[in-house]
């Protein structure tokens, strides 16, 4: 005795059509899943860009403040990223930056250097990527200028030293 319903026994092409429909449904589901994971990966790269850019900005700030102490209040920006890796103290090594991070958007250490117009020394970095970011708002306060930017290369991680007024105590 055949257990298949009568209608299925009479249509020999039914299995083929059912498999084709199944393949189409699976293709649609996989494409949606791929887009979802692509978006998740891009968001993670954006978070990593903010972290790495902030680490470099903080390294520049530390370097500037250290040179200000060393040179009687007049700080200097580093010449390049490699200068942030050098030890500043002879007894206990202290560096401004642990390592030179790669730009997570390009996967290379190809940061675009943002220079101080007066000294031509490095005061910040930005990504070389011109891709459009997913994140366009809700940035940390220090990076509120990133809001509404249309490219990652518009996200500039820069340390701007505050000019000291004459007669003001040194920090």
State the pLDDT at residue 2: 56
Is 0.85 surpassed by the pTM of this model?
no
Q: Which residues on adjacent β-strands are paired with residue 158?
A: 124
State the pLDDT at residue 59: 93
State the pLDDT at residue 89: 61
Interacting residues of 65 by C-beta distance below 8 A, sequence separation 6+: 75
State the pLDDT at residue 10: 53
State the pLDDT at residue 78: 92
- Listed as ranges, residues in the chain with pLDDT below 50 are 165-167, 169-171
State the pLDDT at residue 171: 44
State the pLDDT at residue 45: 95
């Amino acid at each position: 005795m055949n257990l298949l319903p009568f209608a299925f026994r009479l249509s020999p092409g039914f299995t083929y059509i059912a498999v084709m429909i199944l393949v189409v449904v699976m293709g649609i589901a996989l494409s949606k899943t791929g887009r979802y994971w692509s978006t998740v990966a891009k968001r993670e790269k954006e978070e990593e860009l903010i972290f790495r850019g902030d680490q470099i900005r903080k390294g520049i700030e530390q370097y500037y403040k250290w040179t200000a102490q060393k040179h009687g209040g007049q700080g200097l920006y580093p010449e390049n990223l490699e200068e942030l890796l050098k030890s500043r103290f002879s007894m206990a090594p202290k560096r401004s930056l642990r390592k030179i991070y790669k730009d997570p958007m390009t996967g290379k250490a190809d940061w675009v250097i943002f220079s101080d117009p007066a000294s031509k020394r490095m005061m910040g970095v930005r990504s070389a990527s011109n891709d459009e970011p997913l994140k366009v708002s809700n940035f940390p306060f220090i990076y509120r200028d990133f809001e509404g930017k249309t490219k990652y290369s518009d996200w500039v991680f820069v340390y701007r030293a505050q000019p000291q007024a004459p007669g003001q105590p040194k920090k």
